[in-house]
Amino acid sequence: MARDRALRLDESGASDPDAAAKAWREVAALDGANPFKEEAAVRALQWEDFGKEQRDFMAQKSADFQRLTQILPLTSVTEENKVQLLTNYGGLYGEADMVNLISVVQPADVRARLCAPYLQSGTSPVRVDMPVDRDGEPFKGEIVVAEVKFGKAPTMINLPSCATSMPIEVTESESGKTWAGVVPGLGGSDPTIISPEYDDLIPWSFWHDYLTASSPSGPLIGVMFSQMTLPSEFNRSTVQSLRGNVELGVGGGWAGDFSLWFEPSMSIEDSGVERAIGLAGGLGLGRFSAGRFSLSPLRVGYQKFLNSDIDGMEGFTGHAALRFHVGGGVQLRGDAGVLRAAVNQSGQDVEGWAWSAGGGLEYGNPVIYNAVGSLFESEGNSSSSDEWTEWTDGSLSFGYNVAQGYLPKQDFIGTMIFMTKFTEYDDGAYVSIEGAYTGLLGLDSTNFALRLGMASMNDDEDVVYQLGFIGAYNGFEESDYYMLGMEGELAYHLVSQLSIHGYVSLNALALSDTEGETKDEVTQEVIGKTTTMSPVSAYLRWVTPANIYFNAGVRADITGSMPISGVGEAGYVMSLD
């Protein structure tokens, strides 16, 4: 029985040799017929020797550790010598103990270099928090410790003990603002908490439950019904219209209370009265809110009407709008406005006040990434060798688009494109259905888009204006995106079949279906990929007599989330007339 107990203690003898030695001494000390006496004496002596060696080893390790804690901070000892001392210590006592010694190395830049290879194998938990927006959702930020990336905050990371006092930076993903600090002391049962702070961080969220709020940080888009009562001198008592609204906040700081707005409108057709097209735009001055209600106290701008029996009526306008925020970025809006308008009637200038009231729905939810953009900007064309027929009524085109610098870290993007288009320039409307597939140069993306808008051509048929709305779907790698936006284009015929184009788009809505996307390794939360991209481009277009066309130009981004890129496109276009 005594021997059996000693054998069991043998199994844990490496961690407690004294207990094993004591058990074998007890076996050797038993009197009578003891066949295990000699064996037990030998085993007891072995464990006693092992325990002494272990105590000597730990004493030497402690002495070496204390000696190196005095040597490693010395600036007179070269970095190469410190590396050799640490390497020798690690070879004798293990990597974990060597990493603990790195924490005493001076100066700080040397310590950071020596600790960097072990940063991602640390075991001390560190929680990196982020500020939250007005809906309580945290912002995202890229974590970098001593130039080593650790993924997206907010999250939990693990650092080694040598990371104490090392520099840490967290760059907020949307604004690009960087918070810099140092890693505080590590260790203990609770995680170390790091809380970055940023100045004037724009809350990418709809505002609610606040007493006051500034203009939106991202675009709003809406559709409104409105009725305007005109002075009797204007030959038309009322105008009922549908208005499209786009509003974009100017920015933070002193500009945080201002927004830019733009509203195209088209009158609802009345019997015997020509349809009217309206254009308005201007500056919004702040917002106030209480609970889920918000008020835009003043929107000032300029309004002009075209293509009707009040053609040419224009003047300064002012609006006020009251909204109820349903949630998820959707709001019901009612508004009222006044227009000090002038129009020329039968050779006489007539002025008067027009009043309007209306309402509708708005949506505003700023986003991070939208891959639809305007990869496919080609207009429908047909051509011949002796005349300019750039602006055909119906066309089908397909081709290949190559963009360089379109996405960060993506040198080239090649896209197969197609488009069908029908345009009535005389009546002022266009409809196009477009598609694109990108999968040949490292980016997997499938796009479909519908464009609706107004178009007009000058009498010489060498200038075309277009203004409209975009609805699009984009299957981008493992995510689905849906986009709404507003676009404008101006094209000018230079010579022969050559034209120059300017294009601008405001993408106001992009919702990401995150099903199937990658998850954060620590929090297991789905990682979203959304941003705004509102492109501006300028390009030359040449349509050859063989119906082959070429585009070449540059694209920038209003939001700054994408780099400037060069664009080239070639394709074939056929008329549907």
Residues 61-107: tens digit of each pLDDT: 888 888 888 888 888 888 888 888 888 888 888 777 788 888 888 88
Q: Which residue has the tokens 């600036």?
A: 75
Distances (CA, A) of 26 to 15, 16, 36: 20, 16, 11
pLDDT tier, 443 (very low <50, low <70, confident <90, very high otherwise): low
- pLDDT for 533 equals 64
Task: Kindly tell me if the per-residue pLDDT of 126 is higher than 60.
Answer: yes
Evaluate if residue 254 carries a pLDDT over 50.
no
Lowest mean pLDDT among 278-282, 343-347, 525-529: 525-529
Q: Label residues 504-532 b or e (16+ Cβ within 10 Å = b).
A: bbbbbbbbbebeeeeeeeeeeeeeebbbb
Range among 125-129, 249-253, 417-421 rated most confident: 125-129
Average pLDDT over every residue of 19-24? 85
Q: Specify which residues 254 forms β-bridges with.
A: none
Residue 236 or 255, more confident: 236
Closest CA to 444 of 421, 417, 476, 481: 476
Please check whether residue 352 is in contact with residue 234, taking contact to mean a CB–CB distance below 8 angstroms.
yes
Q: Take residue 160 and report the two structure tokens written for it.
A: 């080694």
238-257: average pLDDT? 72
Instruction: Give pLDDT tens digits for 180-198.
Output: 998 887 777 788 999 998 8
Quote the radius of gyration of the chain (alpha carbons, Å): 36
Instruction: Report which of residues 546 and 318 the model is more confident about.
Output: 318
Q: What is the pLDDT of residue 366?
A: 30
d(CA 410, CA 488): 27
Element (H, E) at 287: strand 287-290
Cβ-based neighbour number of residue 398 at 10 Å: 16
Q: Is the pLDDT of residue 226 over 90?
A: yes
Specify which residues 350 forms β-bridges with.
343
Q: What is the pLDDT of residues 371-384, one digit of tens each?
A: 222 222 223 333 33
pLDDT digits (tens, 9 = 90+) for 332-374: 899 999 999 998 877 778 899 999 999 999 886 332 222 222 2
At 335 the pLDDT is 94
Return phi, psi of residue 93, to 5°: -120, 0
Largest CA distance in the chain: 138
Q: Decide if pLDDT at 385 tops 70.
A: no
Q: What is the pTM for the complete model shown?
A: 0.37
